[in-house]
Structure 1
Amino acid sequence: MTRATEKWTAGRRADGGPYDAVVVGAGAAGLACAADLCAAGLRVRVLEAGGEPGGRMRTDRVAGFTADRGFQVFNTSYPQVKRRLDLRALRLRAFTPGVLVHTGDGLRRFTDPTRRPGQSRDLLPGRLASGRDLLALAALSARDGLAPAAVLRHGADGTTLGALRAAGVSPHLVETFFRPFLSGVFLEDRLETSARFFHLVWRSMLRGTLCLPADGIGAVPAQLAARLPPGVLRTGAPVAALSARGVLLADGGEERARTVVVATGQRAAAGLLPGLRVPGGRTVTTLYHAAVRPPLEEPVLVVDSRRRFLNTCVLTALQPGFSPDGRALVSTSVLGSPSPAETEAVVAALGEVYGVDAGGWEPVHRVTVTDALPAVPGPAPLSRPVRWAPGRYVCGDHRATGSLQGALASGAKAARAVLSDVRAGTV
């Protein structure tokens, strides 16, 4: 029977033969891997434990509000994003370039002067940074923005804090801007993240635009999943273990396959592949509040130099459709999982930062994401092997970098490994 004449039912051959590949997990990495394997002509099944694809890139509808599973942004500069997604169909709207930093002197704007020259007043020497700091920042940004990504990936590694010191950034600017801002990017406030990863992230921000889809971040994996052939994706199918013939499902069933790709988060991956070494994870909680009047009309990210929260923004200033009734939807993220008293302190801090009485804001949603990002304290590899054992592979942002680009690239790398082994006849 040739591949062209095989009969299929819901993604499986009519004769009950095994798949070429089963992909466990329908997050960004698993969807990218499955797409590449399907495009190469392999028989593929994707098994997702949840009711819909997306992994950590999910969007909830709460009392009519659109609330992502944690604050998320979509960066248009990622190569894998450009390759795989129809950006127009996502109906993206962009944040204002740069961020507002709450300092002892009020809000100060940190922005790229090449994009919004008219909003660069706070970058005059002595307002947010010294003249020496501005020169150091310009040199750092020119290097990271213009250098090929490969140069940054293969540079010397250490910590982000070390990289900022080496670039000549003063402790004052580190504490006023970089630590508050990057804490929200890396979900850690010690600036211990790999210096190489920091340079790549800074490059992506200089070259790209931070946006959100009109339907929330969940629209991204939904589009990836929609491009798979019919019947490939099966949701509500948690995998209990890998077997000699494929995978065992939690309901007692089995899906047979020549190869298995584990594309879950790091903890689940370690459970399915005993002995797999995975990085630790960063936990973040995002609070959503509804306000009768928007505390800020501009779609811009706000950070606090006192680090009472990671970041905050008025989502409806960016995407008005995130609210069902015209009220403003305010998103605020904090490290870990705050207690009720700590949450009250965060709301009080928001009132101070925005210059409003936030005590009357209505709590709409709260979501804590464990392992929201893999921890990559430097020095650290930016890519880890995807082959685990003969016919067994693993991918995800924990095998690369904690970003959508990292997840998609890891999935593509796993697909290349599977295809190489299948064509070589080693699996």
Structure 2
Amino acid sequence: MLEPAYQADVVVVGAGAAGLAAAGRLTGAGVTTTVLEAAHAVGGRMATEKVDGFRLDRIGQLLSTAYPELRRTPGLDGLALLPFAPGVLLHSEGRHHRAGAQAGVRSARSALHAVRALASAPRSIPAPRRTITALGASGRPAAPHRTRAGAPLGTAVDQARLGAALSRHASTPVERLLARPELPAAQALAARGLPARTIDGFLRPLLAALLCDPDLTTSSRCADLALRAFAGGRLALPEGGAESLPEQLARNLPPGTVHTGVRVTSVATNSVTTAEHGVIRCRAVLVATDARAAAELLPGLRVPDFHPVTVLHHTTDEPPATGASLLLDADRDGPVAHTAVVSHVDPSRAPAGRALVSSTVLGPCPSDVDTAVRIHLSRLYGTPTGRWETLAVRHTPEAVPAMRPPHDLRRQVRLLAGLYVCGDHRDTSTPQGALHSGLRAAAAILTDLGAGRSMHTAERVATASAA
């Protein structure tokens, strides 16, 4: 009887976006791969819960149509991305203002021309402002807003300068962005030459939403990459929920590649040990779990700090009239960082006749978070929320790895020959970073295994002699 010296070329531990992306590249190169996942479904933090016909994302990180790995990763060509309305909707002093809508189509030259034209134009006397009274969760008038003159983006000249800055970001090569001096994002914004009002009223709430970092302690290089994706594309959601992305990757793998409900207890360069099935022999091991689980399997691996995220899902039969817009609070006078009627973006996430409103709270979860969020949402949407039904409140303490400076966006994925690691904690803590990390790890494994040549059929040994 002949038996293989090992059961697979590569064992991938973890069936999140990074591990599945790596598995897709490996199997596409002819390398036999086994993916082991401790949970009973793929996806990791990109999970979607089904409740009474609703599809509720656990974390709901925002995607961008400009993410290059959404095009490069094998298996994602069938992923349906549904975009939000162009730009974002800013709430300030009871009003909604759209911003960033032209970022992906305006050229830096035309935006700069607009700056010069507006700067030389005669100033007009502003019209009197109309006061809007927002309603609280119970339908009574809410607490008054802080009053600030003008729109969140400042003057027309300020808005044109912002458009020029976003256009430059969209066309700047990544290498040039990464060559800039690295600072915390909040400090770097102050040095960009934009008015403080534009920074506080637009860039701060936008970056907080994109990075899940309310204090903007993130590396300015990571913030620049996030702005570049925003300026060059559209914010979007995967149709059917966040889980659609990892499920699409898993479906692209050969049958029998992914095994769920299998807990790995230890790893080596040529084997993994599982609680359910003993030792599985292989030529290489890729640890593709979250950062903390990876450190448990790989002692000495640094565990980063994390940004906690709380997502609340409400439903109503009278949705707010904001359309498919991502709504940010420019005033920052409540717990909600961003919110949207996601069923207007993706109708498959709610039953017919119902609207799904998903809202994100960044940082520590406040006490009685649902009440605080309802009061804030009533101001943001300008409608009573007391009759909205709460579907779920999901708090994830270690939702997103922190990327404070100095942050290496391309941390080593090859620990030693036969042992590799990937995940959003090795690149940027975004779905784009997870995918890119997985593809980098697959490339390193293919190089070490001999440019992608499968070793599984070439290296069988006889364990029993013929009679």
TM-score over 0.5 for the pair: yes
Structure 2 spans left out of the alignment, 5+ residues: 107-114, 124-149, 456-467
Question: Which residue of 12, 15, 23 maps to 1:23?
Answer: 12
Deviation string 1:280-338 (CA, Å, 9 cap, x unpaired) is 11110100001120012400011112332110100111122211241111000102453
The Cα of 1:115 is off from its aligned counterpart by 6.3
Q: Residue 329 of structure 1 aligns to a residue in which SS?
A: strand
Match of 1:104 in 2: 93
Match of 1:217 in 2: 242
Map of 1:348-427 to 2, 5 A cutoff?
A: 348-423=375-450
1:57 aligns with 2:81: no
Map of 1:58-73 to 2, 5 A cutoff?
A: 58-73=47-62
Map of 1:199-348 to 2, 5 A cutoff?
A: 199-243=224-268, 245-251=270-276, 253-307=278-332, 308=334, 309-336=336-363, 338-348=365-375
Deviation string 1:202-230 (CA, Å, 9 cap, x unpaired) is 11111122222331121111111111111
TM-score (norm 2): 0.82
Q: 2:422, 2:348 → 1: CA distance?
A: 34
The Cα of 1:100 is off from its aligned counterpart by 1.4
Q: 2:62, 2:259 → 1: CA distance?
A: 27
Q: 2:440, 2:268 → 1: CA distance?
A: 23
Match of 2:69 in 1: 80
Match of 2:212 in 1: 187
Deviation string 1:154-204 (CA, Å, 9 cap, x unpaired) is 322112122212211232222222222222221222222111111111111
8 Å contact from structure 1 (residues 290, 363) kept in 2: yes
8 Å contact from structure 1 (residues 313, 330) kept in 2: yes
Matched length: 411
Q: 2:167, 2:159 → 1: CA distance?
A: 12
Q: 1:342, 1:17 → 2: CA distance?
A: 51
Q: 1:340 to 1:370 in 2, by over 3 A?
A: closer
Percent identity reads 40
Match of 2:126 in 1: none
Q: 1:139, 1:291 → 2: CA distance?
A: 39
Q: Residue 358 of structure 1 aligns to a residue in which SS?
A: coil
Map of 1:32-47 to 2, 5 A cutoff?
A: 32-47=21-36
The Cα of 1:138 is off from its aligned counterpart by 3.3
8 Å contact from structure 1 (residues 297, 317) kept in 2: no
- Counterpart amino acid of residue 140 in structure 1: A
Q: 1:250 to 1:58 in 2, by over 3 A?
A: same
TM-score (norm 1): 0.89
The Cα of 1:135 is off from its aligned counterpart by 4.8
- Counterpart amino acid of residue 53 in structure 2: G
RCO comparison, higher one (Cα < 8 Å, 6+): 2
Question: Which residue of 99, 109, 127 maps to 2:151?
Answer: 127
The Cα of 1:82 is off from its aligned counterpart by 0.8
- Counterpart amino acid of residue 400 in structure 1: D
Q: Residue 274 of structure 1 aligns to a residue in which SS?
A: coil
The Cα of 1:146 is off from its aligned counterpart by 0.9
The Cα of 1:88 is off from its aligned counterpart by 7.1
The Cα of 1:141 is off from its aligned counterpart by 1.5
Structure 1 spans left out of the alignment, 5+ residues: 1-6, 8-12, 118-122
Q: 1:292 to 1:96 in 2, by over 3 A?
A: same
Q: 1:341, 1:249 → 2: CA distance?
A: 41
